[in-house]
């Protein structure tokens, strides 16, 4: 039984744990001396079932935690990454506060916790030493997918950090032992259910809310499908950004830029200097997968004259409905759900299909957003695009028919992979700096898109016009608008189209009394998704623009 000097926590479901009274067990007393005021922890109690190991463990972990010379932020980064990879919630809980004390930011902790997004992260979020340490940890932890080249890169970064040649090898051995030792720790934590946390989700470094929000489509009074939504909240007082994905992707396409917006800026400049003391403007974030993408649902076909399951105005309507849903309002409104209007969102940010949805949202905005950022998109279907989308649908179905099971089976097993193989190179043409890791990630995302979700989105993009219709774009009352394109997208035609849109919007908006500017910017050398192939340039441009109001 634990004494008053110990911290027993929740009992393990596998072993009882041992808490020898002070003065009755030399090993336990040595552990208490290292732990200080906490006394024996649930981890120590499980280890004390094997006293000889508990004593050796105490010496080993004491040396790794306090006896080395690695920078504290790098040591804790590696430990926390192991906790995330090995699903060791206890390890994360114990070390997140230590990591923050060593200087790790919320955005950096998010990178560490996010094991689904391929490494490396974009430049400026982590230091070059932190980045290589993260890659090293993954390589040693996951199937020993390690190379001598990676070890040499780690040593080179230690040298750049300021270590002498003799110190480099010592620090490299220390880093190797930290990763090896804490892999042992994480596996013991999970195998013996320390603090009853085996099977529990590893925490995130901020409030993370995940919902499948039921929304209506054709009839506002009835729900027809769900929208998979992730809300990342740091503070009730922090402003919100909402992100809308492209066709053939899901919310994860934004993963490389999320840490930047959580921290409100870069942590290191291009020369590697620490700039975390600079002025910051962090944000809360809402990410969602548009209907028919990721795990978001697709409504049944309507019975009216427009039988499409997706249109651009309906995508905009989905954003409105998820923002005004009880689930999201309870997160955004500091006083919970109320009868008042939702607090204004700082910006709706969309790309491609999501960019068109953002423009449609601007056309119908009733004060719910201060700004809109529309990337690599247009305000209406460009000439010839309807036929191009129809051709892509035919590629997916091969010789099969859209309506029969043979065509559906082919599309799911072969067609979407074929579409991925031609789409990703078109999105990121020659000159785009897309890495092989990100290319593979995006191809996998495209190929796993629901077939019907793709077809519905293609039909939406093949026939839409936001310039005319019931909510003309040029009459929008959204105060701030940024149009953005990668210079390589469509051979430059997408950027040219957005420049023309800006010019027409400025002229026609003036006749509606619009005084605030419509701005355009271009990411040189980027393709269709600048937030994927050059996320650092995307963040630089968008972050600077958002900070202006």
Give 233 or 37, the one with higher predicted confidence. Answer: 233
The mean per-residue pLDDT over the stretch 204-221 comes to: 91
Could you tell me the end-to-end alpha-carbon distance of the chain, in angstroms, rounded to an integer?
59
Interatomic CA distance for residues 310 and 457, integer angstroms:
6
Q: Report the share of the chain in percent with pLDDT over 70.
A: 95
Is the domain of 246 the same as that of 121?
A: no
Cβ pair 244, 361 in contact under 8 A? no
Structural domain includes residue 202: no
- Segments forming the whole domain that contains residue 269: 210-299+309-383+464-546
186 with 251, same domain?
Answer: no
Question: Please, what is the Cα angle at 362 between 316 and 335, to 5 degrees?
Answer: 75
Among 132, 163, 196, give the residue marking a domain's end. Answer: 196
The answer as to whether 279 is a domain residue is yes
By the 8 A CB rule, do 125 and 111 touch?
A: yes
Domain total of the chain? 2
List, for residues 530-542, the tens digit of each pLDDT value.
999 999 999 999 9
Domain identity same for 351 and 225? yes
Indicate whether 434 belongs to any domain.
Answer: no
Do 190 and 258 belong to one domain? no
Which letter does DSSP use for residue 207 in this model?
A: E
- Strand spans (E) along 363-511: 371-375, 480-486
Please determine, for residue 234, whether its predicted confidence score (pLDDT) is greater than 70. yes
Verify that 76 and 98 share a domain, yes or no.
yes
Beta-carbon contacts of 189 under 8 Å, excluding residues fewer than 6 positions away, are: 43, 88, 90, 91, 197, 198
CA dist 34 and 484 (Å) reads 55
- At 337 the pLDDT is 46
pLDDT tens per residue, range 436-488: 999 999 999 999 999 999 999 999 999 999 998 788 899 998 999 999 999 99
- CA dist 395 and 451 (Å) reads 12
Please indicate, yes or no, whether residues 224 and 107 belong to a single structural domain of this protein: no
The residue from 133, 166, 196 where one domain ends is 196
Question: 139 with 101, same domain?
Answer: yes
CA dist., res. 90 & res. 41, Å (int): 11
Instruction: For residue 127, name the pLDDT band (cuts at 50, 70, 90).
Output: very high
Is 234 a member of any domain?
A: yes
Provide the angle, in degrees to the nearest 10, between the axes of the packed helices 89-101 and 106-113: 150
Q: Is the pLDDT of residue 78 over 50?
A: yes
Same domain flag for 76 and 176: yes
Residue 48 included in any domain:
no
Residue 191 and residue 216 share a domain: no
Please tell me whether residues 246 and 374 are part of one structural domain.
yes
Identify the band that residue 339 occupies on the pLDDT scale cut at 50, 70 and 90: very low
* pLDDT tens per residue across span 50-72: 999 999 998 999 999 999 999 99
Of the residues 150, 171, 196, which one is the last residue of a structural domain? 196
Shared domain check, 295 and 158: no
Q: What is the CATH number of the domain that holds 180?
A: 1.20.1290.10
CATH of the domain at 265: 3.40.50.1820
157 and 235 assigned to the same domain? no
Helix (H) or strand (E) holding 405: helix 405-410
Torsion of CA 101, 105, 108, 113, to 10 degrees: 70
147 within domain boundaries: yes
Residue length of the chain: 549
- What's the rounded Cα separation, in Å, for the pair 394 and 476? 37
Residue 19 forms part of a structural domain: no
In a domain, 418, yes or no: no
CB atoms within 10 A of CB 452: 16
């Amino acid at each position: 039984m634990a004494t008053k000097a110990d911290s027993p926590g929740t009992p393990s479901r596998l072993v009882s744990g041992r808490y020898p009274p002070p003065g009755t067990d030399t090993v336990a007393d040595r552990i208490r001396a290292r732990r200080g005021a906490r006394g024996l922890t649930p981890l120590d109690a499980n280890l004390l079932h094997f006293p000889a190991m508990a004593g050796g463990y105490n010496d080993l972990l004491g040396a790794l935690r306090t006896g080395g010379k690695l920078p504290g932020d790098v040591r804790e980064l590696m430990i926390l990454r192991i906790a995330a990879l090995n699903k060791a919630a206890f390890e994360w809980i114990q070390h997140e506060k230590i990591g923050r004390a060593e200087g790790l930011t919320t955005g950096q902790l998010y990178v560490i916790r996010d094991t689904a997004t391929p490494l490396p992260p974009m430049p400026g979020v982590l230091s070059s030493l932190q980045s290589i340490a993260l890659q090293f940890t993954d390589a040693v932890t996951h199937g020993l997918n390690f190379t001598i080249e990676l070890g040499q890169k780690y040593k080179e970064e230690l040298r750049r950090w300021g270590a002498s040649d003799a110190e480099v090898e010592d620090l490299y051995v220390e880093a190797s032992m930290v990763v090896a030792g804490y892999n042992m720790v994480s596996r013991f934590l999970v195998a013996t259910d320390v603090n009853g946390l085996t099977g529990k989700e590893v925490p995130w470094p901020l409030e993370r809310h995940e919902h499948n929000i039921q929304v209506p489509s054709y009839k506002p009074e009835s729900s027809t499908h769900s929208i998979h939504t992730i809300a990342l909240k740091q503070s009730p007082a922090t402003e919100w950004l909402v992100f809308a994905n492209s066709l053939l992707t899901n919310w994860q396409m934004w993963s490389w830029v999320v840490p930047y917006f959580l921290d409100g800026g870069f942590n290191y400049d291009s020369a590697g200097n620490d700039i975390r003391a600079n002025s910051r403007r962090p944000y809360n974030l809402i990410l969602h997968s548009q209907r028919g993408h990721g795990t978001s649902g697709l409504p049944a076909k309507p019975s009216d004259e427009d039988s499409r399951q997706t249109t651009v105005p309906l995508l905009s309507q989905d954003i409105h409905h998820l923002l005004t849903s009880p689930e999201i309002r309870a997160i955004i409104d500091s006083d919970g759900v109320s009868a008042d209007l939702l607090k204004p969102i700082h910006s709706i940010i969309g790309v491609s299909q999501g960019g068109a949805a953002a423009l449609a949202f601007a056309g119908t905005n009733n004060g719910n957003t201060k700004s809109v950022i529309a990337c690599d998109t247009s305000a209406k279907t460009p000439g010839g695009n309807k036929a191009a989308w129809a051709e892509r649908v035919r590629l997916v179905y091969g010789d099969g028919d859209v309506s029969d099971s043979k065509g559906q089976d082919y599309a799911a097993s072969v067609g979407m992979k074929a579409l991925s193989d031609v789409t990703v190179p078109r999105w990121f043409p020659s000159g785009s700096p897309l890495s092989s890791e990100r290319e593979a990630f995006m191809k996998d995302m495209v190929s796993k898109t629901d077939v019907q979700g793709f077809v519905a989105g293609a039909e939406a993009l093949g026939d839409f016009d936001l310039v005319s219709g019931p909510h003309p774009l040029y009459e929008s009352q959204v105060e701030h608008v940024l149009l953005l394109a990668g210079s390589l997208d469509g051979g430059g035609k997408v950027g040219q189209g957005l420049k023309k849109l800006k010019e027409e919007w400025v002229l026609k908006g003036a006749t509606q009394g619009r005084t605030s500017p419509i701005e355009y910017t271009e990411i040189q050398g980027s393709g269709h998704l600048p937030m994927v192939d050059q996320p650092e340039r995307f963040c630089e441009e968008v972050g600077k623009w958002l900070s202006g109001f």
